[in-house]
């Protein structure tokens, strides 16, 4: 017998078995349920894109029973939703070491008809801060080389020791599954539990990248939300935004990054060129209106 | 102590190509006994005979000795001895996450190996039988009927379908049940679910449904689950209600042949 291969195989199965009591199936969309993970006592995280209704959400618990869950809040930008369900479940241990490309990763999900399920592959790429196409910020970009099936999204991504790296989502990248890292989940869960939502800074401007005569890159104001934070502070159409909070801005991602460190209600200094003259305007950061 | 490559090679020798002459492609099969018993899917061996090609290129005419459409399994018999039979594993002990490998003839590549892990074990909506093994590995149509083996090289399932990208295998214990008790009672029809029942799309000429004068277009009242329950009740006679044309409910009595073990 190939003892090494057999030992590796049972190690993988043991990781799945160990993680299973923390993973639920989430019923919040037609057809395919998704998966979710007990992140804190009574608190489940899942992928926001799998939540299609706000009421009558249920979860299939590790013991196979169904229980109602309430939506505490969600953050489409990071594709995270937070549910509350009263059930005592063990929590997964956080990963002790940094996530690195090449390490083995498993996704652990649950479906109501066949219980816990697993897929295996590797972490194919890791980088720092990553802005999603949905406008949120992940603390790390963790790309997965493994197959995500319908229902895998929201499941736990664990390493070979059964420690959690994050949760899986198929909605943040067209080319690969992505793990929403634990650090991002912790941050979003904190905000949702304390405020019910993740508020994002908002200036109320439409911007377009331009190049100034000295080849410096900047952003020209093409539209202004009426009575929005920028309009109220005196920003005009045609103003050229060159810096925000002291950092130069070359594209709209720079605006998002600058606003991350300026909570709603705080003033941020905007460096502006108007008619060839530099000036600074303090804009009080507003809250981005919620999507209907 | 065999390594991964040796396990795969051993499994390749127990895997055969099956062609039933009905379709353009071929499926796979597993050598279940040294004396010529081959297992494959019922959807691979649709006729009374089939052609089997062994790993070493030898070809045999095979007799299809039993078909179980509900488990999607068929038993074939070839006149040969000393074949490299696969070692069955206990599919009840399979756990999600454990390593699996599959051998088959996907897209005409004979003896291709794919690897992955067990995704889940359980019932599947729309497929009869209570347990199916789903595996996170890449299969193609020609894998049908071929072996799904664990890290020890023991066959834990017969690859049967691909569902949402997942490999679906009939568990080895289900295959053992098929060989020991014979095919599960089946009507011998192709059904399509409707909101109020199951429409008969096709009737096998020599099946129990044909003998009970059920016809194409009749709609059996009830769900798959109810029908499966009735079929598995152990009775050799089952009453079925159905609609034909006008909205009048009719009833028929279906007789099933006594179950017979598949000769090993």
Provide the CATH number for the domain around residue A278: 2.30.42.10
Map out the domains of chain B as residue ranges: 13-77, 91-181, 189-255
Residues of A with CB under 8 A from a CB of B: 1-3, 5-6, 8-10, 12-17, 106, 111, 113-120, 146-147, 149-150
**A80 located within any domain:** yes
In a 10 Å sphere around its CB, with 0-12 CB exposed, 13-18 middle and 19+ buried, how is residue A87 labelled?
middle
CA distance A139 to B19: 54
- Which structural domain range is residue A61 located in? 1-197
At which residue do the structure tokens 């160990």 appear? A18
Q: Is the dihedral of CA A61, A73, A165, B99 positive or negative?
A: positive
Select B189-255's CATH number: 2.30.42.10, 3.90.1200.10, 2.160.10.10, 2.40.30.10.
Answer: 2.30.42.10
Chain A nearest C-alpha distance from B74 (Å):
25
Q: Are strands A66-75 and A137-138 parallel, antiparallel or unpaired?
A: unpaired
Measured CA angle at A255 (ends A249, A261), to 5 deg = 115
pLDDT, residue B84, reads: 96
> Is B144 among the catalytic positions?
yes
> Is B49 among the catalytic positions?
no
- Nearest residue on chain A to B94, judged by CA atoms? A13
Q: Which two tokens stand for residue B106?
A: 């996907």
Judgement on whether residues A190 and A272 belong to the same structural domain of the protein: no
Using a CB-CB distance cutoff of 8 angstroms, which residues of chain A are in contact with residue B124? 113-114
**A244 located within any domain:** yes
What is the value of ipTM here, to two decimals?
0.81
Judgement on whether residues A164 and A215 belong to the same structural domain of the protein: no
Closest CA to B61 of B105, B16, B10: B16
Judgement on whether residues A209 and A150 belong to the same structural domain of the protein: no
**A37 located within any domain:** yes
Judgement on whether residues A14 and A46 belong to the same structural domain of the protein: yes
pLDDT, residue B130, reads: 72
- Across the interface, do A115 and B134 touch by the CB < 8 Å criterion? no
Low-confidence ranges of chain A (pLDDT < 70): 1-2, 290-292
Q: Kindly state whether B115 is in contact with chain A, defined as any CB-CB distance less than 8 angstroms.
A: no
- Each residue of A97-156: pLDDT tens digit? 999 999 999 999 999 988 999 999 999 999 998 988 887 899 999 999 999 998 999 999
Closest CA to A253 of A142, A135, A172, A138: A135
As a CATH number, domain B91-181 is 2.40.10.10
Radius of gyration of chain B (CA): 19
Indicate whether this model's pTM tops 0.90: no
- Each residue of B105-163: pLDDT tens digit? 887 788 899 999 999 998 876 666 678 999 999 888 889 999 999 999 999 999 999 98
CA distance B251 to B94: 42
Q: How many domains does chain A have?
A: 2
Judgement on whether residues A137 and A79 belong to the same structural domain of the protein: yes
Q: Which of A151, A178, A197 is the last residue of a domain?
A: A197
CA distance A274 to A268: 18
Q: Which of A152, A173, A197 is the last residue of a domain?
A: A197
Judgement on whether residues A150 and A252 belong to the same structural domain of the protein: no
Judgement on whether residues A15 and A135 belong to the same structural domain of the protein: yes
Judgement on whether residues A124 and A209 belong to the same structural domain of the protein: no
Give Cβ neighbours of residue A17 (< 8 Å, ≥ 6 apart). Answer: A116, B95, B96, B97
Report whether A218 contacts A250 (CB < 8 A): yes
Provide the CATH number for the domain around residue A182: 2.40.10.120
pLDDT, residue B121, reads: 94
CATH class of the domain whose range is B13-77: mainly beta
> Is B130 among the catalytic positions?
no
Judgement on whether residues A188 and A243 belong to the same structural domain of the protein: no
Judgement on whether residues A3 and A99 belong to the same structural domain of the protein: yes
**A82 located within any domain:** yes
Chain B nearest C-alpha distance from A60 (Å):
15
Using a CB-CB distance cutoff of 8 angstroms, which residues of chain B are in contact with residue A119? 116-117, 119, 136
- Number of neighbours of residue A90 by Cβ within 10 angstroms: 13
Judgement on whether residues A206 and A137 belong to the same structural domain of the protein: no
Report whether A273 contacts A212 (CB < 8 A): yes
pLDDT, residue A292, reads: 47
Judgement on whether residues A274 and A219 belong to the same structural domain of the protein: yes
Q: Which two tokens stand for residue B78?
A: 């070839």
Using a CB-CB distance cutoff of 8 angstroms, which residues of chain B are in contact with residue A17? 95-97
**A292 located within any domain:** no
Closest CA to B128 of B90, B165, B174: B174
Strands (E), B93-223: 99-104, 112-124, 127-136, 147-150, 155-163, 166-171, 189-194, 197-203, 219-221
Q: Kindly state whether B182 is in contact with chain A, defined as any CB-CB distance less than 8 angstroms.
A: no
Tell me whether the CATH fold assigned to B13-77 matches the one assigned to B189-255. no
pLDDT, residue B128, reads: 64
Segment holding A10, helix H or strand E = helix A3-19
Q: Which of A197, A214, A242 is the last residue of a domain?
A: A197
- Nearest residue on chain A to B115, judged by CA atoms? A120
Encode B177-202: b = buried (16+ Cβ within 10 Å), e = exposed: bbbeebbbbbbbbebeeeeebbbbee
pLDDT, residue A141, reads: 96
Selected residue of A8, A13, A151 to mutate for chain B interface (largest B Cβ count, 10 A): A13
Q: Kindly state whether B163 is in contact with chain A, defined as any CB-CB distance less than 8 angstroms.
A: no
pLDDT, residue B263, reads: 65
Chain B nearest C-alpha distance from A4 (Å):
9
> What distances in angstroms separate CA A186 from CA A153, A238, B40, one per listed residue?
18, 40, 50
pLDDT, residue A219, reads: 95
- Interface subset of B 17-56, CB within 8 angstroms of A: none
**A262 located within any domain:** yes
Q: One digit per residue, pLDDT tens: chain B, 264 residues?
A: 568 889 999 999 999 999 987 666 689 999 999 999 999 999 999 888 999 999 999 999 999 999 998 899 999 999 999 999 999 999 999 999 999 999 998 877 888 999 999 999 988 766 666 789 999 998 888 899 999 999 999 999 999 999 888 999 999 999 999 999 888 888 888 888 888 889 999 998 888 999 999 999 999 998 888 888 888 888 888 899 999 877 788 889 999 888 778 865
């Amino acid at each position: 017998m190939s003892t090494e291969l057999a030992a590796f195989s049972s190690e993988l199965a043991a990781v799945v078995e160990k993680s299973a009591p923390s993973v639920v199936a989430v019923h919040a969309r037609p057809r395919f349920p998704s998966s979710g993970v007990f992140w804190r006592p009574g608190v489940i995280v899942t992928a926001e894109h799998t939540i299609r209704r706000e009421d009558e959400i249920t979860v299939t618990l590790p013991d196979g029973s169904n229980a109602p869950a309430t939506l505490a809040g969600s953050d489409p930008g990071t594709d995270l939703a937070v549910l509350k369900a009263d059930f005592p479940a063990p929590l997964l241990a956080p990963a002790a070491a940094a996530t690195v490309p090449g390490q083995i990763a498993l996704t652990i999900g649950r479906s109501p008809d066949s219980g816990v399920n697993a897929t295996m592959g590797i972490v194919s790429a890791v980088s720092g801060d990553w802005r999603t196409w949905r406008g949120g910020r992940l603390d790390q970009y963790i790309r997965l080389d493994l197959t995500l099936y319908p229902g895998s999204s929201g499941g736990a991504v664990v390493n070979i020791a059964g420690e959690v790296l994050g949760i899986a989502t198929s909605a943040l990248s067209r080319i690969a599954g992505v793990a929403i890292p634990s650090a991002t989940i912790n941050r979003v869960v904190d905000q949702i539990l304390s405020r019910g939502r993740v508020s994002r800074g908002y200036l109320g401007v439409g911007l377009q990248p331009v190049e100034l005569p000295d080849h410096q890159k900047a952003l020209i104001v093409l539209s202004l939300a009426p009575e929005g934070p920028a309009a109220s502070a005196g920003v005009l159409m045609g103003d050229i935004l060159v810096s925000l909070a002291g950092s130069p801005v070359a594209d709209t991602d720079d605006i998002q990054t600058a606003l991350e460190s300026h909570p709603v209600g705080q003033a941020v200094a905007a460096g502006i060129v108007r008619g060839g003259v530099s000036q600074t305007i303090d804009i009080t950061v507003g809250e981005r209106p919620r999507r209907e | 102590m065999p390594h991964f490559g040796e396990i795969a090679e051993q499994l390749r020798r127990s895997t055969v190509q099956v062609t039933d002459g009905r379709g353009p492609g071929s499926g796979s099969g597993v050598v279940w006994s040294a004396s010529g018993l081959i297992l494959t899917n019922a959807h691979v061996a649709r006729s009374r005979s089939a052609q089997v090609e062994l790993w070493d290129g030898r070809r045999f005419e095979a007799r299809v000795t039993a078909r179980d459409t509900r488990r999607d399994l068929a038993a074939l018999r070839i006149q040969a001895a000393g074949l490299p039979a696969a070692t069955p594993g206990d599919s009840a002990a399979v756990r999600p996450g454990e390593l699996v490998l599959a051998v088959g003839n996907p897209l005409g590549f004979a003896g291709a190996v794919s690897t992955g892990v067990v995704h889940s074990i359980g019932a599947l909506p729309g497929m009869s039988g209570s347990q199916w093994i789903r595996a996170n590995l890449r299969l193609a149509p020609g894998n049908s009927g071929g072996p799904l083996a664990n890290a020890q090289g023991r066959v834990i399932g017969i690859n049967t379908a691909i569902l949402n990208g997942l490999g679906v295998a009939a568990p080895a214990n289900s295959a053992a049940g098929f060989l020991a008790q014979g095919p599960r009672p089946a009507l011998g029809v192709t059904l399509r679910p409707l909101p109020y029942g199951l429409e008969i799309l096709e009737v096998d000429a020599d099946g129990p449904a044909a003998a009970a004068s059920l016809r194409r277009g009749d709609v059996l009242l009830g769900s798959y689950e109810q029908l499966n329950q009735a079929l598995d009740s152990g009775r050799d006679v089952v009453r079925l209600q159905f609609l034909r044309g006008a909205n009048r409910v009719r009833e028929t009595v279906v007789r099933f042949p006594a179950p017979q073990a598949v000769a090993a």
